[in-house]
Amino acid sequence: MLRTSVTGITFPNPVILASGIRDETGHSMVRMAQFGAGGVVTKSVGPVPRPGNDLPALVEVEGGMLNSMGLPNPGVDHYGEEVEVAKGAGVPIIGSVFGPDTDGFVAVAEKMASYGVDAIELNLSCPNAQGTAISFGQDPDAVKQVTSAVKAKVDIPVWVKLTPMVVNIVDIGKAAVEAGADAIVATNTLMGMTIDVWSQKPVLANTTGGLSGPALKPVALRCVWQLASSPDITVPIIGVGGITDWKDAVEFFLAGASLVSVGTAVYYEGPEVFGKINEGLQDYLDRKGCESIDQIIGKGMVE
Ligand code: DHB
């Protein structure tokens, strides 16, 4: 049985759509659920409409892709109708939010919560937005401040998404937990770049972008394992980064994740990837004689 509960929310299966891929509209999120996503995370939404960065904003590289979309979104005031449509999917909806500062995060999170999402995900880790996001995610005090301010104002679970670009991810996770985070999402993308040797210029209009896909997987897996191994991290971990097939998903559960999200693989493989991962997971549990995913969570840890 793949049904599972994380932060008090019941998911029909533990494989959800990560923020940023095929989740711009309510209809695209419904489609992902129809293909087997156990839940969906919205594209990150901020206080005001943003057109995003200049193109090209996405390029394939060895082992994945780089994107510098620049957090394009219609602004939270216009997002209610997308959530309303997405709710028709019948799976939990997680509203991903970002803001220019603590008050901005709080305002967007409150508005997102008022639309009836099941949880809030704080994107404290976008590598592309100048002056915000990733700088929050790299500073334990900022993570604590934003998380506790949002927790004080919303009464649904708050998930905090971390960047892998820190010296010690446990310090950041601990700050989130102390501030009341209900779950840690590990991890966001790694900042990278690529240069076209003929034009002798960076390929991305923004020069750098977030690296996702298989190349990110060992890094994200290591972050999940470090967080899960720490006695200070007392909340569930949602594993994300390069998960492409059921074996990748199993690795994240074994490292200590309670739920996994899939993003870039949806871009490469199509939404069918959800059904394939779920089938493989069920088969693995059967072969291992396990009745639920809970029985493998953290099993890969050194005792
Ligand atoms: C964007 C946001 C992210 O959180 C990320 O990891 C990569 C790109 C963006 O919209 O630019």
Choose, from 93, 108, 126, 259, the residue flagged as catalytic. Answer: 126
Within a domain: 262: yes
d(C-alpha 72, C-alpha 50), whole Å: 5
Q: What are the 10-residue block averages of pLDDT along the chain, 303 residues in total?
A: 97 98 95 98 96 96 96 96 97 96 96 98 80 78 96 98 96 98 97 97 97 98 98 98 98 98 97 98 98 96 68
Position 256, amino acid: G
d(C-alpha 240, C-alpha 129), whole Å: 20
Q: Does residue 187's CB lie within 6 angstroms of at least one atom of ligand 1?
A: no
Domain enclosing residue 48, as ranges = 4-53+71-191+212-295
What's the pLDDT at 219? 98
What's the pLDDT at 133? 60
Closest ligand 1 atom, CA of 129? 11
d(C-alpha 21, C-alpha 134), whole Å: 19
Closest CA to 188 of 261, 249, 246, 250: 261
Within a domain: 65: no
d(C-alpha 102, C-alpha 143), whole Å: 9
Name the residue with the closest Cα to ligand 1, atom 10.
71
> What is residue 85's three-state secondary structure?
helix
Closest ligand 1 atom, CA of 43? 10
Q: Does residue 124's CB lie within 6 angstroms of at least one atom of ligand 1?
A: no
d(C-alpha 124, C-alpha 279), whole Å: 33
Within a domain: 61: no
- Token look-up 């994240």 returns 252
Burial class (CB in 10 A: 0-12, 13-18, 19+), 76: buried
Within a domain: 198: no
Within a domain: 196: no
Q: Does residue 128's CB lie within 6 angstroms of at least one atom of ligand 1?
A: yes
Assign residue 273 the CATH number of its domain: 3.20.20.70
- Centre of ligand 1 from the C-alpha of residue 24, in Å: 13
d(C-alpha 155, C-alpha 119), whole Å: 9
Q: Which of 68, 98, 126 should be mutated for ligand 1, with most atoms under 8 A from CB? A: 126
What's the pLDDT at 90? 97
What's the pLDDT at 130? 58
- Catalytic residue flag (residue 126): yes
Closest CA to 252 of 192, 185, 303, 190: 185
Burial class (CB in 10 A: 0-12, 13-18, 19+), 197: exposed
d(C-alpha 157, C-alpha 62), whole Å: 36
What's the pLDDT at 129? 64
What's the pLDDT at 74? 96
Closest CA to 76 of 103, 43, 52, 39: 43
Number of structural domains found in the chain: 1
Within a domain: 205: no
Within a domain: 157: yes
d(C-alpha 205, C-alpha 215), whole Å: 22
What's the pLDDT at 302? 66
Position 284, amino acid: Y
Within a domain: 234: yes
What's the pLDDT at 206? 95
